Amino acid sequence: MPQQPDLAASPPLSPQGRGEHGAPVLRLQNITKRFGSLTANNAISLDLAAGEIVALLGENGAGKTTLMNILFGHYVADEGSVEVFGKPLPPGDPRAALDAGVGMVHQHFTLAENMTVLENIALGTQPMWRARFDRVAARTRIRSLSSDFGLAVDPDAVVAALTVGERQRVEILKALYRNARILILDEPTAVLTPAESEALFKTLKLLVAQGLSVIFISHKMAEVMGVSDRVMVLRAGRVVGERRTSETTRAELAALMVGEEIAPPQIRDVPYGGQVLVLDGVSTAGRSSGASLDNASLTLKSGEIFGLAGVSGNGQAALSGLISGTETLRSGTIHLFGDEHRAWTTREALQLGIGRIPEDRHATGTIGDMSVAENLILESYRSPRFSRQGFLRRDAIKEFAREIIADYDVKCPSPDARVRLLSGGNMQKLILGRALDPKPKLIVANQPTRGLDVGAVAYVHRRLVEARDHGAAVLLISEDLEEILTLSDRVAVIFKGRISPSSKRGERSVRELGELMAGHGLEAAA
Amino acid sequence: MTEALEILFTASFWVAAIRIASPLIFATMGELICERAGVLNLGIEGIMTVGAFAGWFTVYSGGDLWTGVLVAALSGAAFGLLHGTLTVPLGLSQHVVGIGITLLATSLTYFTYRLALPEVTSPPKIEPFQPLPIPGLSKIPILGEALFSQTPLTYLAFLTVAIVAWVLYRTPLGLAVRAAGENPTAVEAQGISVSGIRIGAVMAGSALMAVGGAFLTMSAFNSFFFEMINGRGWICIALVVFGSWRPGKALLGAILFAAFDAYQVRLQQLTGGIVPYQIFLMMPYLLSILALVLVARRATYPKALMIPYQKGER
């Protein structure tokens, strides 16, 4: 076990000038990394100057995170070299990266939840064989870093009890505690509220003002334009462009990132059809996470997209669970295609023609360690097309998988590839293919575009509109009000398990919907 | 009926309970360290067998008692190194490796025993650790006799609990161990080797398990015989869960189980053959299951337990 310097004893960061602007503090040269047949990084080079914020922009799967994991020593590059402050960094050694002054805030936080903030930050910073862990010095140093950089967090709180925003502050503090001079943030705003993002940007400005350098990984254009000095655009593992932020436009970056023009979804008016699903005074038993449905009513007609807005945890999970058969009814009535039902099992839901796009692609949408082909038949493996007398028909399954992969543009090495290796967007396309291919008459799409990049979002939207145009009833549940307003024919709001009366798109202003989402006036309306 | 209750107030009952608890305490602490670092060590039963034999055989061949304890600990650590190498850097299934280690260690021990003592029919005895009453404290009625007139190895068992608790909660090393069992990426991201921490924890834990086994031959039965561990290792795995992965609670669990065990022996004598003795033998295990059901349902286990950590995988 190597001995660590005792960081608790060293003074907080001293402000430094930005004099060395220009001399690179970090230099990546010709980095190439392959995962099996996938080339995640292809000869990427990058220079970073002191006091500079460089944004690494690209769609999911473009190779941004892989590149940073190589820099930080989580992965070993197949080719290329990394230099920090003019010295080569040995590959595959996070400790060397930390010691050289590189700190990383991962997209999925690397915190031990059963331990306190202080323990997480000071982990590995004190000599390992010391008989006593020095909490007092660590606490003092964390407090002073917190106040210097506006990173408010209680050092003695247990991480499990913190909000996502607080956890991210802990991650940044971890890096600063180790005197990081180069900070890498991987999709830092993906999990933050707008207010938290603002606070983060303020912190970043403070950091670069003190001479630190920041690499900011993102696929959100507005942030990149707002916060960075320079932008590098990655696509399919290559650098496809590099611009000074002041000399470029959102449109130019978007085109570089996606490599093609993105057409907005074509929405044409389709006459509403008959009633597909009618919920009347429905309450649920509360098996799903978040609020149960509480006397909720809803009418869904064929040929419409019904947008249900609301802050997450207000009964969306119960509603989508009820329709896809995992949640049970406590009171109220459900009519599907005019027939009254008490409830249906998940299998019956599929037989009744309900397609589901679940909220969490990883947890309930796919099985990561199974192949693309296997995931595609999860809902239909019993059909005679895919199984006969208890045996799977492998050729038919593979043929089907190839069809879906082609039709839905799922980028994967082969139908046998493990789903875990796909990017979020491709995973979602797989789920879309599986749900939409049987031509369902009712589609529940719960947060269908969460965490996807621009190109994939546009694709999902186009497919949902297409399904509607073919007469399906689409229930679009989303926290993204902009998405709801772009796609929906009718809009309602869910709050604490109740659903507001619906209105046609454009009838209610964004402000009115926002107030409903915050719970104002819904009690009276319901 | 009153006689059955009176047992609980005799010193000899509590002395026996603490003695029975001692090997469980060592092995439970050992398992707890492994699991806190994220590795389930099912080699425990076999490693205890190794320790029981190694300690006993050292003394039998002329070594002194403490040398025996040290040899037991080192042989345990060696099997720990094997377990750790297979499960941590190679990422093999912890279940399979653990059971494999148990089978290997047990058979290897019996084989060595037969090679070393081919002619022996009845197991030879050694001069074991003798009770070492602590002056003053051992005169306290019942409690004093139970706790302070034991052998040095029992005192070491209690000391071990204190040391394990201190290291886990008060030192930088313990912090790294707990973090490795909760979220190894957090350890890796702070520049500490997850493999180093986990292998180290498995070795230290296995050493303690072996000392637990050695207690049986060096402080209880005075000789080595086959099947002597008799499921104690498996009980320790349950005790770790019972103790919610906390040393203090696990200690209580070990004492509780040992008390059940001591009690059933005495109840057997009391009923004098009316009730089949197997019923009594079952009792500690039944009560353990009941206690587990009541206590362990709420237990928050180390989140990365049994999940191999492979660097650079996605």
Question: What's the gap in Å between the CA of A155 and the closest CA on chain B?
Answer: 15
Give the CATH number for residue B31: 1.10.3470
B173 touches chain A (CB under 8 A): yes
A75 chain-B contacts, CB cut-off 8 A: 312
Q: Which of A35, A110, A131 sits opposite B189 (nearest CB)?
A: A110
The model's pLDDT over A229-271, given as tens digits with 9 standing for 90+, comes to 999 999 888 999 999 999 988 888 878 887 765 555 555 566 6
Q: Which of B171, B183, B188 sits opposite A133 (nearest CB)?
A: B171
How many domains in chain B?
1
pLDDT at residue A267, rounded to an integer: 59
How far is it, in rounded angstroms, from Cα B244 to Cα B246? 5
Q: What structural domains and CATH numbers belong to chain A?
A: 23-257 (3.40.50.300), 275-353+438-525 (3.40.50.300), 369-435 (no CATH)
The model's pLDDT over A354-413, given as tens digits with 9 standing for 90+, comes to 999 998 888 888 999 999 999 999 999 989 999 999 899 999 999 999 999 999 989 888
CB A242 within 8 A of CB A232: yes
Question: What's the gap in Å between the CA of B240 and the closest CA on chain A?
Answer: 17
Residue B139 forms part of a structural domain: no
Look up residue A211 and give its DSSP letter: T
Token duo for residue A448: 């269908």
The model's pLDDT over A45-87, given as tens digits with 9 standing for 90+, comes to 999 999 999 999 887 778 888 898 899 888 899 999 999 999 9
Strand-strand pairing, A87-88 and A79-84: antiparallel
Q: Where does the pLDDT of residue A13 fall: very low under 50, low under 70, confident under 90, or very high at 90 and above?
A: very low
B174 touches chain A (CB under 8 A): yes
The ranges of chain B with pLDDT < 70 are 1, 311-314
A1 chain-B contacts, CB cut-off 8 A: 193, 196, 200
Q: Which of A110, A113, A123 sits opposite B175 (nearest CB)?
A: A123
CB-CB under 8 Å, B183 with A92:
no
Average model confidence (pLDDT) across chain B: 92
CB-CB under 8 Å, B196 with A174:
no
pLDDT at residue B288, rounded to an integer: 79
CB-CB under 8 Å, A112 with B190:
no
pLDDT at residue B42, rounded to an integer: 97
Average model confidence (pLDDT) across chain A: 86
Residue B198 forms part of a structural domain: yes
For residues A213 and A512, the model is more confident at A213
pLDDT at residue A215 greater than cutoff 70: yes
Q: Is A69 left (phi over 0), alpha (psi -120 to 50) or beta?
A: alpha
Residue B123 forms part of a structural domain: no
Residue B127 forms part of a structural domain: no
Alpha-carbon separation of residue A113 from A57, A141, B172, B186 (angstroms): 30, 21, 17, 10
Residue B156 forms part of a structural domain: yes
How far is it, in rounded angstroms, from Cα B86 to Cα A298? 57
pLDDT at residue A432 greater than cutoff 90: yes
A132 chain-B contacts, CB cut-off 8 A: 170-171
Q: What is the DSSP string of B127-149?
A: --PPP-PPTTGGGSTTHHHHHHS
Q: Which residue, among B303, B309, B314, would best test binding to A if mutated, counting the most A CBs under 10 Å from its CB?
A: B314
Residue B134 forms part of a structural domain: no
Note down the domain range covering B156.
Answer: 2-118+148-296
pLDDT at residue A90 greater than cutoff 70: yes
pLDDT at residue A3, rounded to an integer: 47
pLDDT at residue A19, rounded to an integer: 39
A511 touches chain B (CB under 8 A): no
CB-CB under 8 Å, A123 with B176:
yes
CB-CB under 8 Å, A125 with B190:
yes
Q: Which residue, among A3, A66, A114, would best test binding to B if mutated, counting the most B CBs under 10 Å from its CB?
A: A114
Residue B136 forms part of a structural domain: no
A124 touches chain B (CB under 8 A): yes
Worst-scoring range by mean pLDDT, A177-181, A491-495, B310-314? B310-314
pLDDT at residue A20, rounded to an integer: 43
The model's pLDDT over A293-340, given as tens digits with 9 standing for 90+, comes to 999 999 999 999 999 988 777 888 899 999 998 888 889 999 999 899
Residue B311 forms part of a structural domain: no
Residues 6+ apart with CB under 8 A from A168: A105, A109, A188, A191, A192, A196, A200
Of the candidates B256, B182, B213, the residue with the CA atom closest to the CA atom of residue B26: B213
Half-sphere exposure (Cβ direction) of A277: Cα atoms closer than 13 Å: 29
B186 touches chain A (CB under 8 A): yes
For residues A308 and A485, the model is more confident at A308
CB-CB under 8 Å, B174 with A74:
no
CB-CB under 8 Å, B311 with A124:
no
